Structures are given as C-alpha cells and as structure tokens.
Structure 1
C-alpha cells in the first residue's frame, strides 16, 4: 500500500487534520447536540463511546459530511469540509456506515473494487495497482474466498467484513467506522479491532470509531471521546487517564469498579453485581471479561 499520509496532504494548521467546532446536530426539529467541538489527533485511534441516543453516530455522520450541522463546521485539512468536492473528500476520508445496502446482484469482488472509485479519472482507469489493492484489502479482512459470491447471500458478519474491505481499498489516510463490529461474534470482533489497531499503529492511518463495548474501546483507543446524554463531551483523552468509576456512573448510570486489563493493562470496567437474596451493599462483584455497554 502507498503511504497513508502523503506529504502534500498533511495539515499544516493548528489541530488535527479532522476537527469540528461549535456543532449543533439533529434531525428535523430534534436537536441531538449543541456547541459540540472535537479535535481528532493526527495518527490516533479515536473511539467515541456513550449511552444510547447521545449522538455518537450523529457526530460521526457530521465528520463524514453525511449530515449538515445546523450550526458550526467540520474542518478537513484546514478547510471547511463543505468546500471540497465529493471525490476529494473520498480520497482523504473513508467511511464504514452503521448499516449499508449493496446493489442487488453484486459480487463481493465487485463491491470491494468500488472502493477504488475515488482514484479513477478520465485518463486513469482500472490498473494492476487497483487490482492489487483490492486483493490485499480482501485478504486482510478474510473475505478473499468470498470474492465470486453475491453479497446478498452472505451472513451479516460476512457482509460487515466485505464493507470494511471496501473501505480499506479506498486507501484513505482517515477512516471513520460506525460500529465496525456489528453482527460479528467475539472472535471476529477481536480480529477487526486488531486490524484497526494495526492500520493505526503500523500504517499511520487516523481512525475514528463508534463502539458500544467499553472494554474494547479502552483496550484499543489511543484517544477516547466520552459523550454524555444531551451530546456533551464528558471526557476526552487517553483511556488510562480519564476512565474512572465516577465517570462511568455519571455517563452510563452504572456502578462499577475499574481494574487493569490482565492482558494489556488498560482500564477494564467490572460492573457491580448483587448476589440474589443479599443487599446491594454487600460488596459482591461479578467479573465479566466482556462487558458490553
């Protein structure tokens, strides 16, 4: 793969390449968030977490230019994202939406190949480089054997990995992922998260992902954005520095303990549990390896 951040694409101003200032977001007459500001650090694996209906996916849509803010603006490489043509945005920023619909009758290989569309020009059509990129994207997501199959025939988990392969084939320096582990069993969830971590650490991609699993967010994020009800940012930064029992109680309404993940040393949320027939204050705690919030 070519370099994820070519020199002529680097943002020379203050802040990261992708940031939002003073956003008011919502749908029709319903406001989800007001005066929301986020600066995505370059080269980070930024994960957005928060309770249901707090605006996580809404924020991601605004960052991807899929949702126009009522106020404020999203900036990409120092310029309002609305000032770019769609193809320009697609060469800088890739998006894996929460749910995607493939055209009827399309094969896996053809769908992944559509990730190369932003790189096609009048005088530059399909090339051997495009083919190599598509093959590698399918290999990395474990769908190469599915290439001739129709997307409509696949399971939900298989389709999710195919869509991720298409985003990888786009070869953008910034990747936005809305619940990338949806429909996946635990083993494939970890595979996808490890792949994302590799893209960030080894290849220099900046990632922004919405996750529901707080322990996965703490394990893989280098920058955590915690949204509270009403769309306010409750905390942002290194998970090891900001994740506390008080923060989880405030944002999620969950009593818990924070312990060190025995594999990574990152924060792990252990929800408080009450033994049947005993009071909540007896101090009993059930340890859950996979806490989904």
Structure 2
C-alpha cells in the first residue's frame, strides 16, 4: 500500500452496498488542518467515501489510513477521540433532551476512573452556544424543527472536540443565514484550532468560498482535487454536472463563482 502522508487518507478503495459497487480503486489524501469539501452530482459516491473514511462502511478492497495505520486496527472509542462524524441522516433516541444528546459527544472521553468533569460540561455548553441551541437545552429533540435538529447534531459532533471533523451535507434543512453561520464556524474551527474539516456539500459556490481543498467526484471516481481556483473551471462543471456556466471572481471572497448560462426559450 502506498504511504499516506496525511493523518487521514485512503488507498485503492472499492466501496459499495451488497453486490453493487459504488467506487473502485479510489485513492484520496485529506490535507491536514485544512477545510476539504467533496463535491459531485447525486449518487456519485461522495457520502459513501465519507462513510468509509469514518469507518461506518467497510471497504471491499483497499484501506482507510488514520495516523499511519489502517483505521480497522483502532477501537471504536479510539477512533471517536480522533474523528467526529455528522452523518447524512440521524435518528435521536426517543424522548431525549437536547443537552443530553449533545452530552453524548463526550462519551469517548469517559473512563472507568474519570467520569463527567467540568471540562465535559464546558465542551457541551460551548458546542450548544456555537450552534445556537443553548436555549433549547431542555427541549425534546423529536419535537424540534428539521433545522433545529440539524444544529443539535452538529453540536454533538463539536462537543467531541476531535482534531478531525467529517460532515455529510451539514447544511441540510438549514435556512441560508444559518448555512453561512455554520460554514463560518467550520472555517474558524479549522483556522483557529488547527482542525481538519471535511464536508460533503451540494452548493458549488459555498464549496468554492469555504474550501481550501476540493475533491470533485463523478461516477465513483475522483475527477480532480486541489485548490478551488485550480479545480473549479467551466469545463469541469460542464463535465461533472452537465451544466453550462461561466466562472467569475466572487466579489466578496475572490473565489470562483459559478454563473449558470442563461437558457432562453
């Protein structure tokens, strides 16, 4: 197996469900302490790759490498101390309250002789404040709106305080203002706390604005990887998404901004 030079990567992955292969011979490296965004059309393998990187999906072939060795060699608790995951869909336990659910993000830090501490309490409080759900601490999760529940799940991941954070479509159900707030928060975590953040996003312009590194996928393959300005071209958008467009500079961030070609009658 080729050596992986970053904390998290994969070599020669074959991924699928049952007899259906989603990706074959997939190799990626996730840059350390950067914000990586995975883009691509529906059913191209984005979420499948993220599930494999987080050990939720066992590859048919190949290996996911975490800190120099196969992720399969770690215990579940060891992985959870290093890597936090927000899956695409999550179902909360019945009748659980917001603060209790977010507190479960501290499970990897609990030991037989080290139970709940002030550090745990501070981590949960900070996570709820950062995601705007502190005022919902006593509410039942199953009675919240879709957007509120999404914020709570993000808070749980943040409460883990892991150096690697993986987010599968984290802006789902969120209004545009909180989408921006959440992505701003992810960028702050990456820049101010030197965390490695990986997210699957559908909005190409958000991907270009926030990512340091983009992985573009199509049909279970990585088509391109690199800085947004190098990867996101009109040719790539047309090839991957089938969308005719122009690329201009975002006037706020100076990152690529995709403008679809106007189709007149």
TM-score by length of 1: 0.89
Gaps in structure 1 of 5+ consecutive residues: 1-12, 277-293
CA distance in 2 between counterparts of 1:182 and 1:200 reads: 21
What's the secondary structure of 1:118's corresponding residue?
helix
Match of 1:264 in 2: 253
For 2:244, which of 244, 252, 255 is the aligned residue?
255
Between Structure 1 and Structure 2, how many residues are aligned?
263
1:227 aligns with 2:217: yes
Match of 1:101 in 2: 91
Write the mapping of 1:44-63 to structure 2, written as runs, cut at 5 A.
44-63=34-53
Displacement of 1:274: 1.8
For 1:175, which of 159, 162, 165 is the aligned residue?
165
Match of 1:241 in 2: 230
Deviation readout 1:47-71 (Å, 9 max, x if unpaired): 0000011000000000000000010
1:82 aligns with 2:72: yes
Q: Rg: which structure is higher?
A: 1
For 1:185, which of 175, 181, 195 is the aligned residue?
175
CA distance in 1 between counterparts of 2:173 and 2:88 reads: 11
CA distance in 2 between counterparts of 1:14 and 1:154 reads: 42
TM-score by length of 2: 0.98
CA distance in 1 between counterparts of 2:111 and 2:171 reads: 33
Displacement of 1:14: 5.1
CA distance in 2 between counterparts of 1:68 and 1:133 reads: 31
Kept in 1, the 8 Å contact 2:4–2:29? The answer is no
CA distance in 2 between counterparts of 1:61 and 1:39 reads: 15
CA distance in 2 between counterparts of 1:225 and 1:216 reads: 14
For 2:143, which of 128, 153, 162 is the aligned residue?
153
Kept in 1, the 8 Å contact 2:39–2:46? The answer is yes
What's the secondary structure of 2:243's corresponding residue?
coil
Moved over 6 A (4+): none
Gaps in structure 2 of 5+ consecutive residues: none
CA distance in 1 between counterparts of 2:171 and 2:24 reads: 28
Displacement of 1:228: 1.2
Displacement of 1:275: 2.3
Q: CA RMSD in A?
A: 0.8
